Amino acid sequence: MKYILNILMMNTMKAGAGVPGWPKKDLQAHIAFMHNLNKELRESGEFVSAEGLSFPDQAKLVRAGKDGTLITDGIFPESKEFLAGYWIIDAATPERAYAVAGRISAAPGPGGTPLNMPVEVRPILSGPPPEML
């Protein structure tokens, strides 16, 4: 069954205090960790897709205006959580999905300490639940 594993960051994390502020070898260790995890998931056949998203600085919130116009808004409150990236995996059980999420969560941070970042695990649908229609 397909699951999406969402890496969530707080807006306050992204500049200065967060990843951008780490020492070089810690950054390298973090990148290598992700690299290896991806390799493992590809080899096990569980990897479906993964994307990294650009930080929300240039993000836009788009709304349909009247008469086909569009409204864009680029302001996000500092405390807002944002999606930094995700993996989609095909896991045999929810427990397996949680285990992979746990691996991601344990990715090393400054000083090599596991980050324990929150990873949101959601099932992926092929359509709205059938009982809804």
CA separation for the pair 91, 14 (Å, rounded) = 30
Answer for the pair 45, 51: CB distance below 8 angstroms, yes or no: no
Per CB under 8 A, the list member of 12, 44, 93, 116 interacting with other proteins is 116
Nearest distance, CB of residue 85 and other proteins, angstroms: 7
Question: Taking CB under 8 A as the rule, which mask of x and - marks residues 40-59 in contact with other proteins?
Answer: xxx----x-xxxxxxxxxxx
Per CB under 8 A, the list member of 93, 99, 111, 112 interacting with other proteins is 99
CA separation for the pair 117, 101 (Å, rounded) = 10
35 binds other proteins (CB under 8 A): yes
22 binds other proteins (CB under 8 A): yes
- The pair of structure tokens assigned to 119 is 């990873």
Per CB under 8 A, the list member of 62, 75, 77, 92 interacting with other proteins is 62
